[in-house]
Chain A
């Protein structure tokens, strides 16, 4: 079991090294013009330079902040609304068609609407991110609450648990695997929308940095930004997976 994990890690590490090496080869032999594809060495130099002398760190932080707040609002709203809808069969039948209609709309399509209503403000950006990240959380939460074992509610009644106790001791823990999965998806959406909004609305951040670098043919800077985005996406998903593992440790013990 443990040996497998180590082997697995070593293999994925090897793949990553091969990837960087292949990238370097592509650049060194000028298979793709260096104007469009600088090697990892140049991207890395640009990255360190951006952090030490430039303001790449600030841009990174503002993207992180934007993503985080949007995601947090989406999560809180999604959990509260999802709990209300998920526990009420009547609300569910009324709202299901509307939700199904709104869900497949690409979140970036809401940006022009938001700009029209809120202008090119930070408030607009935050609402677009929150709105987009809301869907995965909301739908997963509805499903989680709707799928609570009815017998457990009956146990709650038989033990005469209060209503808040039923919600916090039975329904919420039971729905938590679904909620956390939805929040994980929501975080990805929040990151994508942060970048897109920065590009479209010109807010300071990694998205804007990438766009400006591309326009002025600073390819190494562009790749530095893309690398940072990858690191950000990977890092947040690792953190969330760890939180999930802790909160749901009871599931791993099953059989």
Chain B
């Protein structure tokens, strides 16, 4: 099985699969939310998921995180069935205001991930400042989330995820609530962090341009029930640049194609 997966990976010149959705379906009661969805995410790939509201993007991400189990089919992580959340799979939630502990400082919030993993106190203390520095929060460790801007709060959450040393980063519209300038800054920071570590990224967004700008691939889901409707490869050169990448013909072509896809899907 694993050998066969490797064979196809070599044939298609694709990196080995890290997350794979194998014809999964999910129903709540008798309502089918997702039906026969199949999708492979390769190691180090950034796959962006788009689709009309309610088509099951968040649900798919939660399944990849082991928070929800499919009613049929299986989600696998490096070939092994995923049945519960895993230490090396980190989730960045959209609502940073609710996902941080308001009674803990930025440092202590980052520490939580390591406490969960049983990292001893002195090692935690040593690792926190570099983690905060990585997300541009050096010197802000003693602040409470409520004392920080939305962008800074989302950075805390990203730092907390990095503290897990994740092989896979699952992000659910992480920058959706931020203003345009902050969002672009965080997009670039995320890209360089991920490039450094070779992390696999599953990125849900409703912003088509963001999907093309960040992704190696953009997967569009169709609603009712959720399934894959389009899977586009993005062959824009890296590192990407907010001005140049967004002006390339390839970028404009992909944006157009996704725009048409969404319009059709919503009809």
Contacts and interface: CB of A to CB of B under 8 A. Distances in A.
A90 interface: no
B245 interface: no
A161 B147 contact: no
Chain B CB count within 10 A is highest, among A155, A161, A173, A255, for A155
B103 A173 contact: yes
B160 to A, nearest CB: 8
Given A151-B95, A165-B115, A253-B146, A158 B85 contact: yes
Contacts of B164: 159
A170 interface: yes
B60 to A, nearest CB: 15
Contacts of A170: 101
Contacts of A4: none
A30 interface: no
B87 interface: yes
A176 B99 CA distance: 18
B146 A159 contact: no
B91 A158 contact: yes
A157 B146 contact: no
Interface residues of A, number: 24
Given A165-B116, A250-B144, A155 B99 contact: yes
Contacts of A157: 67, 85
A103 interface: no
Contacts of A162: 116
A250 B116 contact: no
B91 to A, nearest CB: 5
Contacts of A154: 67, 93, 99
Contacts of B102: 250-251, 254
A16 interface: no
A149 B98 contact: yes
Interface in B137-152: 144, 146-147
A100 to B, nearest CB: 30
B258 interface: no
B47 to A, nearest CB: 19
Contact of A160 (B87, B103, B104, B147): B87
Contacts of B65: 158
Nearest to A253: B144
A151 B87 CA distance: 18
B117 to A, nearest CB: 8
Contacts of B86: 160
Contacts of B103: 173-174, 176, 248, 250-251
Contacts of A160: 84-87, 116-117
A176 B85 CA distance: 28
Interface in B84-142: 84-87, 90-91, 93, 95, 98-99, 101-104, 112-113, 115-117
B204 to A, nearest CB: 15
22 contacts: A149-B98, A152-B99, A155-B99, A157-B67, A157-B85, A158-B85, A159-B116, A159-B117, A160-B84, A160-B116, A160-B117, A161-B112, A165-B116, A169-B115, A170-B101, A173-B101, A174-B101, A250-B103, A251-B103, A253-B146, A254-B144, A255-B146
Across the A-B interface, the 10 shortest Cβ-Cβ residue pairs? A254-B146, A159-B116, A151-B98, A250-B103, A161-B116, A158-B91, A173-B103, A158-B85, A149-B98, A253-B144
